[in-house]
Structures are given as C-alpha cells and as structure tokens.
Chains A and B, each alone.
Chain A
C-alpha cells in the first residue's frame, strides 16, 4: 500500500518536472527568457549610467565603463550563453520556491515579490472555491441519491437533462449573466471585488461585506458544478445499488434506509469523494475565469493581470503553483481513496 502510494507520488512529481520543463523550454526556445533578462540588464545599465555620469565627465571613459559593466551583467545572468544552459538553474530556483519578483504587479503593501503576491491572493481563491465546493457537495449529496431512487422516471430524466445543461454552461459566462442582472439591472449585488470601497468598520461588518461580494461568484460556481455533481452521485449510487452485496442485504430483509446508508452510500463514497476532489482541483484552474469576471482579487485574477501586463515572472510562477496545487489535490485524493475504500487493499 505504501509502495503504491509512493509510486503515485513519484508519478505526480514527474508531472511537476514535466510541466516545469515545458514552461522553461517554451520560454527559452521562443526567446522570451532572453528578452526578459535583456530588459533587466538594460534597466540596471541605465541606472548605472545615470549615477556614473555625475562623477565621470569624459564620455569615452564613461562608455567604456558602462560597456564593461554590461558585459559583467550579461555574464552574471548567463546571457552570453544559449538559453538551455540556464535551464537547470531556472528549474532549481522555481522548485525551491524562489519565485522571483514581478515586473509591474505589486501587493497592496507595494511588495514586488511573487511569493508575497501569492500569499496575499491564495486565501481569497481558497475562500471562494471552498465555499462553492461545500455548497455544491451538500446539494449533490442531497439530490443525487433521491434521483437514483427514482431512476428512469420522468423527473429523473428531466433532472439529468438539467444536469447536462450545467455541464455545457461555462461558470464565467454565468458570472457575466449574474453581473448583468443582479448588479446592473437590479443593483442587489456588487459588480465585483472583495470588499466595498471604503470597507465598513468592524470585523463583523467586514465579514458581511465580503460575503455580500462573494455571493455572485459563489452562486455562479455552484450553478455550473452542482449539476454534474448530482449526476455523478446519482450514477454512482445507481451502480452500487446493482452490486450483488446490496441484493444480498435486501434478501436478508434489512430495512431500506439501512441498506442505503451502510451498503450503498458507504461503498459509493470513494468515487464520490474522488469526483469532489477532482472537481476541487480542476476548479482552481477554472477560477481564473470566474475571478476575472468578478474582479475577485485571488490567484486567477492575478494570473489574468499578469497576462494583460505581460509579466512573465508572475505567469511562470503562477503556472507552477497552479500545477503544484492541482497535483497536491490529486495526491490527497490517492490517500483518501485508500483510506475510504477497504477493498483497494486486496488488489
């Protein structure tokens, strides 16, 4: 069992390395990385020249000194060598969480460090996604088994169709829809953002304000995910209900709700948890779009801002962190899977 887990962990680590390699290679091969470093060098040279020109009057000496400094800097950033020689270094830096500094983006305190930016935004994203997931899973677990019990009826078929519609609905568009109606047309909810400006005084009022701002994005996420969720729960419950051991339980004359709880839901739990966690991991990526629509200051919004501002350092760092979170979620899933389903141990 531990070996299996270890193997899985290794695979996931391999994925991380592959993603990093891909990121670094595409940065290097397209010349992006060179341009990025070149602009850093140019900036430093400009500052250097300004300070130097106050002490050195002879233009020839000045130029020579500046040229020498440029060569030094280029050697320092390994710009005098082809991009792939910098490859191991870059990967090592990112893996050890030395994420670098953003070119234009800043935290509210003005720090350009990507790690600070992330620390500031990560909580907001998790808040949004977690709230949505909790609501979704409760709704799914309430609706799914009820649908399974009525499988094949008109209601079940109508519900399945509604769930299919929610699969085709992109959360970000539902978000736009909500903004258009709830914020523009009726003015009940804010257009976006985390807090009103200026934010209300007092912790409780602040919390209320945040909940008011989170209402629309959370609703958008729930609307699109609970459909496929309830459908998944329904199908899994339905599949488990056809298993021989359930039939045996029924034959023994056990009461219906005991069978439902102990036989069906318990056995159906692993796949249900699987799709919940998978949905959770996936929605982190999806939050890029939803946060953009609602101007929610989370990781997704940061990613969007980085794209708009062409801030490569932030884009690389965020891509890495998104992958890392996704993979961590998948690993947690593996552990949970072993823990939840005793049958796995025998295979």
Chain B
C-alpha cells in the first residue's frame, strides 16, 4: 500500500477523521507554543514564583462568571510608561499617572499591588504617592514613598529599581493599613483596628459600611492616582503598575501559587507529543528491527533475542519506572529511555511471527533465487510487507507512553524543568485542590491527557482497515 492509500483509508472512516483532526490540533498548538514560549519555560517562568507575584491565587477561570449569580472581580492590570499629565510649580514637576476603573463587582478584589520600575533622577529623589478617588467623591491615600537618595560616592544621574521593581503588596502592608485606618476614621467616622484593616484594606477602599461592622462592595467609577514629585526636567519613571487582583482569572484560572494554568496547560501539548512520538518511534524501530532479524536469521540469534524479550516484557513497568525515576533522577529523557527499553519486546515477538510467515512466501523465495542479499530481503521485501502493521503498532504504543509519563508525574516524579499535565495535576492533588473543589486545577490537565491519548487511539482505530483488510469489506464509513 502506498502512503497515499493509507491516508485515504484512514480518512474514510469518521474515527480516523476525528483522530486526524485531533492530531492536527495538537500539532498546531505545539507549533504555536514552540514559537511563543521560551525554551526554558519551566525554569524561567513556571517554577519562578517572582513571575507569578501579581497573579491571584487559586482563582477560577473568568468565564465561570457567566454561570455565577455574583459578579466576581476580573483581574485587571494597569500600566503606564508615560505620565498622563505633567504639572510644574515652584516646588517641582509633578508627574501624574491616572487609571480609571469601572468597578461593578459583588466582591472585593483578591489583593491589590503597586509597583514602580526604572526611576532616574539627577538631583533630589522623587516623592511618590498613590491614592484612590472613590465614586462617593472621597479620596483614600494609600501610600507615600520616597525613592532612596544618593549614596556616598554615587554620581548623578541616579537610577533606582531598574533590575527589581519597587513593589508593594498593598494587601497586608502596614503603612497602607495605617493610611486606610485614618481614612476610615476621618472620612467614614469608623474606628477600626489596625489588624482588621491590614488583613483586607480593599474592603474599606472599595466598600461602604454595611451597618453591621462589615463592608459591602461599592460599585462605580474609581480613579487611581499616582503622583510623582520630581525636581529636574530629565527625571523619569520607566513604568508604573497597579494590579487589581481578580477573584477569577483568564481562560483556565490559576493555581495556589498564582500560576496561569492556561499557560502551563498549553506548554503540555508539545511535551506530550514529544513523549508519545519519541517513545513510540524508538520502540517501533527497535522492535521491528529485532523482530525481522530474529524471524529471518533464526538460530542462536533468534533464541537470544527471544529470551531477552521474555525477560524484558515480563518486567512490571510502572513500579520499575517509579523506582528508577526515584533513584536515578527525574529527567524526562530518562523516563523515555526506560519506557523504550521495556517497551520494544512486545513488538519484536509479533513482528517475528509475521516475518516467519513472509519469509516462507514465494516472493521472498524468488528474490532469494535472484541473488538478493539477506539484508536487502529483510529490509526491502519483508519490511515492506509488514509496513502498515508496524505503523499501526507505532500509533498504538503512543498513548501508553503519554499515560505512563502522566502517571509518573502524578506521583511527583516528573522532570520539574519541563512542566507536564501530570505535574499540574500532581500539584493540584498534593495541595488538596480536590478536597476544596478547585475543579479547574484538576479536571483540565486530566482531560488533556485523555485527549492526547484518545487522539492516538482513534488514529489506531482508523488505521485498523489498513492492517486488517478483512475489515475493509464491511465498510467503516
């Protein structure tokens, strides 16, 4: 059968078509990920807590709002690299940054944070202030900050916060709590304890007293004002950032470290493909080669290969995989290697029996009579005969590898530098996400594992008529 015919047969059944469509989708997503993600995504992004500092923790996906009676806060990040306005007076130049926020949620934000990066000044250090103007016309001053001044021996212009930004996690910050408490006392006439305010300053800032000692969210237009008082014309700020931490986030939500699950899940596509395809290709190549040699050459070679197969095929894979990953190390290539080492014998045994049938055929006998070398007969004529079968075995062994790796990762023995779906599931399971109902953390990665495995199962099913011509007569359309 020619490759064109194989593909045509595959696409003639809807099982094969669905499988092919799934595979195309996996390939497409993988290409996208490979083009847009850094190669050391695991180390640089996924396992780097600093990267996820401004993300809400354990937030469900944003689209769950559609099904919820409460409007939950969607994550909003305001950034500005240019001031909205510059006002100069006798004291200096005021760089004014302004963000408008329409707040119509039934909840308070999960957290709020403010950061500042790349401050340059040449004379006196800038003085910053952050305040929020509420819909009721009252303004809360949250923070006042003086950029550290010149140190001894330093020469102008001075730069601050260029490597690591100056960042204040407003929730839980003591200085912010003092300011908010003063605001509550002065403007709202409420005397609150510092601890009360410090735990959740957003309740006062974005809320109104509910009369029972608590606060309810106050909808309306808020304005976030950041003012920097500078003293020289060249003084500048590279970026000002205010984050309103959502109680929902993105397409897939976040985990308890604030990591965007959508990003991690997308990264799983190329990894799953790699694991599945590399493992199955190696298994197929080794299994077919040894099977053909064993079946065609016979004698001692055959006995040796068959005994080796007997031993390797009888080893229970998962316990051994777990043991070796634990002792030798958690490396992806190692896991693949182990799966290949213990995976090829099954194919060898089947291939051998098929080769023995074909080797006795008239075609092969005729070829031999014509003087063809054994290696030519083995790898041109015999391999050609069993080609479709080998191909289907390759597809069929792919889901096993994906599932095995996912299982291993689920036990916490995956390669941490390459995040996979199994690892995301593991972190969800081991931190107890299942027991508090964080379904968005445990269902999607498992579903994707099933999706990837299904892709290859469907392809293998669609492939069946190619391998087993008897089925073709029934018609599988």
Which residues in A have some Cβ–Cβ distance to B below 8 Å? 11-12, 14-15, 18-19, 22-23, 26-27, 30, 32, 152, 157, 160-161, 164-165, 167-170, 172-173, 176-177, 179-180, 184-185, 191, 281-282, 284-286, 288-289, 292-293, 303-304, 307-308, 310, 315-316, 318-319, 322-323, 326-327, 330
Contact indicator B326/A180 (Cβ below 8 Å): no
Q: A179-B435, A303-B322 are in contact. List 6 more A-B contacts (CB 8 A).
A: A11-B311, A26-B323, A167-B399, A176-B425, A176-B446, A185-B437
Complex Cα–Cα for A169 and B447 (A): 9
Complex Cα–Cα for A318 and B15 (A): 41
Contact indicator B443/A285 (Cβ below 8 Å): no
Contact indicator B439/A289 (Cβ below 8 Å): no
Complex Cα–Cα for A160 and B465 (A): 14
Does B114 lie at the interface of the complex (its beta carbon under 8 Å from any beta carbon of A)?
Answer: no
Contact indicator B449/A315 (Cβ below 8 Å): no
In the complex, which residues of chain B have a beta carbon less than 8 angstroms from the beta carbon of A14? 310-311
20 A-B pairs with CB atoms under 8 Å apart are A11-B310, A12-B314, A18-B311, A19-B315, A22-B324, A23-B323, A26-B327, A152-B474, A176-B442, A179-B435, A180-B437, A185-B437, A286-B318, A288-B318, A289-B411, A303-B319, A303-B322, A304-B411, A307-B326, A319-B322
> B426-439 vs A: 1/0 string, CB under 8 Å?
00010000111101
Contact indicator B311/A176 (Cβ below 8 Å): no
Given contact pairs A14-B311, A167-B457, A326-B316, A315 touches B323 in the complex (Cβ within 8 A): yes
Choose one: B410, B434, B435, B457; the contact of A164 (CB below 8 Å).
Answer: B457
Measured CB to CB, the closest approach of chain B to A339, in angstroms, equals 21
Complex Cα–Cα for A164 and B455 (A): 10
Given contact pairs A14-B311, A184-B434, A288-B319, A315 touches B454 in the complex (Cβ within 8 A): no
Complex Cα–Cα for A327 and B322 (A): 18
Contact indicator B323/A170 (Cβ below 8 Å): no
Complex Cα–Cα for A339 and B403 (A): 35
Contact indicator B327/A289 (Cβ below 8 Å): no
Contact indicator A307/B411 (Cβ below 8 Å): yes
Does B458 lie at the interface of the complex (its beta carbon under 8 Å from any beta carbon of A)?
Answer: yes
In the complex, which residues of chain B have a beta carbon less than 8 angstroms from the beta carbon of A323? 315-316, 319-320
Contact indicator B461/A15 (Cβ below 8 Å): no
Contact indicator A173/B446 (Cβ below 8 Å): yes
In the complex, which residues of chain B have a beta carbon less than 8 angstroms from the beta carbon of A286? 318
Does B307 lie at the interface of the complex (its beta carbon under 8 Å from any beta carbon of A)?
Answer: yes
Top 3 A-B residue pairs of the complex, sorted by shortest distance between their CB atoms: A168-B453, A173-B446, A285-B318
Contact indicator A285/B319 (Cβ below 8 Å): yes
Contact indicator B450/A168 (Cβ below 8 Å): yes
Interface of B: prevailing SS: helix
Measured CB to CB, the closest approach of chain B to A181, in angstroms, equals 9
Choose one: A12, A22, A191; the contact of B435 (CB below 8 Å).
Answer: A191
Does B412 lie at the interface of the complex (its beta carbon under 8 Å from any beta carbon of A)?
Answer: yes
In the complex, which residues of chain B have a beta carbon less than 8 angstroms from the beta carbon of A172? 407, 410
Q: Closest B residue to A319 by CB, please name it.
A: B323
Given contact pairs A164-B458, A170-B446, A293-B429, A26 touches B410 in the complex (Cβ within 8 A): no
Contact indicator B316/A180 (Cβ below 8 Å): no
Contact indicator A289/B434 (Cβ below 8 Å): no
In the complex, which residues of chain B have a beta carbon less than 8 angstroms from the beta carbon of A169? 450, 453
Complex Cα–Cα for A76 and B466 (A): 64
In the complex, which residues of chain B have a beta carbon less than 8 angstroms from the beta carbon of A285? 316-319
Complex Cα–Cα for A76 and B311 (A): 35
Q: Closest A residue to B15 by CB, please name it.
A: A161
Complex Cα–Cα for A191 and B446 (A): 19
Contact indicator B316/A170 (Cβ below 8 Å): no
Contact indicator B450/A170 (Cβ below 8 Å): yes
Contact indicator A307/B322 (Cβ below 8 Å): yes
Measured CB to CB, the closest approach of chain B to A16, in angstroms, equals 9
A-B contact count (CB 8 A): 130
Contact indicator B327/A30 (Cβ below 8 Å): yes
In the complex, which residues of chain B have a beta carbon less than 8 angstroms from the beta carbon of A30? 327-328
In the complex, which residues of chain B have a beta carbon less than 8 angstroms from the beta carbon of A177? 443, 446
Q: Closest B residue to A174 by CB, please name it.
A: B446
Which residues in B have some Cβ–Cβ distance to A below 8 Å? 15, 307, 310-311, 314-320, 322-324, 326-328, 399, 403, 406-407, 410-413, 425, 429, 434-437, 439, 442-443, 446, 449-450, 453-454, 457-458, 461, 474, 476
- Of B15, B410, B458, B476, chain A has the most CB atoms within 10 Å of the CB of B410
Contact indicator B407/A289 (Cβ below 8 Å): yes
In the complex, which residues of chain A have a beta carbon less than 8 angstroms from the beta carbon of B318? 285-286, 288-289
Contact indicator A22/B454 (Cβ below 8 Å): no
Measured CB to CB, the closest approach of chain B to A48, in angstroms, equals 30
Complex Cα–Cα for A169 and B15 (A): 17
In the complex, which residues of chain B have a beta carbon less than 8 angstroms from the beta carbon of A315? 323, 326-327
Complex Cα–Cα for A285 and B310 (A): 19
Contact indicator A160/B322 (Cβ below 8 Å): no
- Of A18, A170, A185, A282, chain B has the most CB atoms within 10 Å of the CB of A170
Measured CB to CB, the closest approach of chain A to B450, in angstroms, equals 5
In the complex, which residues of chain A have a beta carbon less than 8 angstroms from the beta carbon of B316? 281-282, 284-285, 322-323, 326
Choose one: B311, B407, B443; the contact of A180 (CB below 8 Å).
Answer: B443
Complex Cα–Cα for A281 and B454 (A): 24
In the complex, which residues of chain B have a beta carbon less than 8 angstroms from the beta carbon of A289? 318, 407, 410-411
In the complex, which residues of chain A have a beta carbon less than 8 angstroms from the beta carbon of B474? 152
Measured CB to CB, the closest approach of chain B to A299, in angstroms, equals 10
Q: Closest B residue to A288 by CB, please name it.
A: B318
Measured CB to CB, the closest approach of chain B to A132, in angstroms, equals 17
In the complex, which residues of chain A have a beta carbon less than 8 angstroms from the beta carbon of B407? 170, 172, 289
Q: Closest B residue to A152 by CB, please name it.
A: B474
In the complex, which residues of chain B have a beta carbon less than 8 angstroms from the beta carbon of A327? 314
Q: Closest A residue to B306 by CB, please name it.
A: A11
Measured CB to CB, the closest approach of chain A to B446, in angstroms, equals 4
Complex Cα–Cα for A319 and B321 (A): 10
Complex Cα–Cα for A11 and B308 (A): 10
- Of B319, B435, B442, chain A has the most CB atoms within 10 Å of the CB of B319
Complex Cα–Cα for A27 and B327 (A): 7
Contact indicator B446/A164 (Cβ below 8 Å): no
Q: Closest B residue to A299 by CB, please name it.
A: B319
In the complex, which residues of chain A have a beta carbon less than 8 angstroms from the beta carbon of B399? 167-168
In the complex, which residues of chain A have a beta carbon less than 8 angstroms from the beta carbon of B436? 184
Measured CB to CB, the closest approach of chain A to B413, in angstroms, equals 7
Q: Closest A residue to B399 by CB, please name it.
A: A168
